[in-house]
Structure 1
Amino acid sequence: MTTDTSAGATTDPTGAEGQDRLRDLYADWSQIIATTPDLSMRLFRAIFDEWHQPTVEPEGVTYREDTVGGVPGIWCLPVGADESQVLLYSHGGGFAVGSAASHRKLAAHVAKTLGAVSFVLDYRRAPEHPHPAQVEDGVAVFDALVASGIEPRNITTIGDSAGGNLAIAIPLALQQQGKPTPGQVIAFSPWVDMENKGETLTSNNDTDALITRELLEGMIAGVLGERVAPTTPLANPLYADFTGFPRLYMNAGSAEALMDNAHRIEERAKAAGVDVTLSIGEGQQHVFPFLAGRSTVVDQELSRISDWYRQGR
């Protein structure tokens, strides 16, 4: 296990333009949510499909819509990538918003850096489809990739926020089913605490431009409904058994309200003997890799992930 807290300590986290576009976007969303009490789910989802805006379009990448294992999504295909190395990417958005379209640029940056291809799932979203629909869709895609000839160890489950939860939960579900698991797991700002008890929800309330306890309460109600307990391990991996779990890389921003989710997963996985790396971006917001192509901090973070990834090959 290693812990890296150097990300962003001495460089401009906003890039050459001197503007933290991610924070500004989050602040704008928060303003809309606060002043529009009757915001419909359709408009809520439309707003969060702007998530790609802070991310620079990566060069040398093509995209292809596809359906894998019955689940629609978008392939991110960097020129010259090894197509036997697949990143199974689950987007964030509280299980209710976000999409393959909102996350394709971020997934493509990671795939290009790692020399792999990525499939970004458009998994079924809550509240129309509560837990475990999202985990089931991830498992279905993993199974289909394996059936197509991809070696399980050459698949990486990856995601951000709620998608970071899924990146962790999918291998746990595969373990429960007695199936092979991915070779490694990557989670950006994973949101795993369905009990909404995190300490940094309070301590970082004034520095996080988006996440609040109240926002999460609504997301939890949508995905768990009245039938799923918030301590269910595949919904809340803080209650999971991590014995035999794949090597794990996580990051989070020091300014975000969900930072302690990553720390708590690190502690639980480490206690089970898992190879864990946690990188904390000083002063960074929720899912700070969305600044890919615009931020020196993210360039450095992607380089760290690349080094970690290659060490496990």
Structure 2
Amino acid sequence: MAVSQQAHEFAEFLAGVSAKSSTPGLDLAVIRDIVDSHHKASTEPEGVTYAEVDAGGVPALWAIPEGADPDKALLHFHFGGSVTASMHSDRKAAGHIAKAAGVRSLVVDFRLAPEHPYPAQLDDAETAYRWLLSEGYEPRSIGSTGHSIGGTLAVMLPLRLLAKGEATPGAIVSVSPWTDLTINNPSVDKNEHNDKMLSRATLELFRGAWLQEPGVEFADPRISIANADLTGLPPTTVHYGEFETLADDGAELGRRLADFKVVSSVHPMPEGQHSFILGAGRVPEVDEAIRQMGQWLRRHLGS
């Protein structure tokens, strides 16, 4: 199937932002500002309003579609390797997913590394989840969603809750997840020129900033969900682009979910880019994937 002209234009947009953010000598604050401009790739979703909230001490942003089911919510985690991006860079893409699911989405502005290394991001994810519970949402009526490191957190949060013997969210949507911090999968090098956002060098930079705990290996199942016990996860759908450096991470997660008998589905996007949901509203392939995510959440939340 031919890839749309809009998909090619989106890939070029990503390449442009990457070129700007990788200019030598830039201060991290400037790089973060450049990465936040990824939001320009998404259109403003019609009929979605926004409200900033304090989610138990964690800054967050509600994306609220017209006619949203009041009893259900999504908990959405942004991209950026734990080092860059924010609730603002993900606001519109999260709004499109919320609209497809017919529920509101809480976009979490978790703390960033290297100032706040692992597990600060997961701690903030858990705090935001507990805030949703305190607001009256049932665990099974909450969807855990995200892309890139956010797609990792979307799975890590339910795993942490399972380890504590607590109820998990009712469904997971993990897009372009980073599941193996050893960065050993073949697609990392195979897709070096196809992936317009990520490279091996960027992944190495991110993991060094994120994991600063001496004695914790990159292969540790707490960090690399490729090695985690996935028993008991709620219904989980994985979407990834076939042009990603992390394509094998997504495919492998899909296989392991099946191995652990988790209700799951896997959707590789032909020539899809890392974090492709940022093309929401402009790229037909992306809109179709978001429609599928919405269906998954409608089917599994609250059931």
TM range (shorter): over 0.9
Residue aligning to 1:208: 195
- CA distance in 2 between counterparts of 1:213 and 1:207 reads 12
Question: 2:37 aligned with 1:50, yes or no?
Answer: yes
Q: Is the 8 A contact 1:13 1:297 kept in 2?
A: no
Q: Is the 8 A contact 1:11 1:296 kept in 2?
A: no
| Residues 206 and 123 of structure 1: CA distance in aligned 2, closer, same or farther (over 3 Å) | same
- CA distance in 2 between counterparts of 1:28 and 1:304 reads 29
- CA distance in 1 between counterparts of 2:31 and 2:59 reads 21
Residue 233 of structure 1, CA deviation: 2.2
1:129 aligned to 113, 116, 133, which one? Answer: 116
Residue aligning to 1:229: 217
TM-score between the two structures when normalised by the length of structure 2 = 0.95
| Residues 201 and 11 of structure 1: CA distance in aligned 2, closer, same or farther (over 3 Å) | closer
The residue type paired with residue 260 of structure 2 is A
1:186 aligned to 163, 173, 194, which one? Answer: 173
| Residues 31 and 302 of structure 1: CA distance in aligned 2, closer, same or farther (over 3 Å) | closer
- CA distance in 1 between counterparts of 2:120 and 2:41 reads 29
Question: 2:159 aligned with 1:172, yes or no?
Answer: yes
Residue aligning to 1:293: 281
Residue aligning to 2:185: 198
Question: 2:157 aligned with 1:161, yes or no?
Answer: no
Question: 2:96 aligned with 1:104, yes or no?
Answer: no
1:12 aligned to 4, 25, 39, which one? Answer: 4
Which consecutive residues of structure 1, in runs of 5 or more, have no partner in the other structure?
A: 1-8
Question: Which digits, 9 at most, give the CA deviation of each residue in 1:261-312, with x for residues without a partner?
Answer: 1111112221111111111111111111211111211222122223322332
- CA distance in 2 between counterparts of 1:242 and 1:278 reads 16
- The DSSP-based 3-state class of the residue aligned with 1:83 is strand
Moved more, 187-196 or 299-308: 299-308
Query: Between Structure 1 and Structure 2, how many residues are aligned?
Result: 300
The residue type paired with residue 271 of structure 2 is G
Residue 196 of structure 1, CA deviation: 1.0
The residue type paired with residue 234 of structure 1 is R
The residue type paired with residue 152 of structure 1 is P
RMSD: 1.4
Q: Is the 8 A contact 2:230 2:260 kept in 1?
A: yes
Tell me which stretches of 4 or more aligned residues in structure 1 moved more than 6 Å: none
Which consecutive residues of structure 2, in runs of 5 or more, have no partner in the other structure?
A: none
- CA distance in 2 between counterparts of 1:151 and 1:52 reads 30
Residue aligning to 1:4: none
- CA distance in 1 between counterparts of 2:12 and 2:212 reads 32
Residue aligning to 2:248: 260
Moved more, 297-306 or 40-49: 297-306
Residue 10 of structure 1, CA deviation: 4.4
Residue correspondence of structure 1 range 7-86 to structure 2 within 5 A: 9-10=1-2, 12=4, 14=6, 20-21=9-10, 23-34=11-22, 36-86=23-73
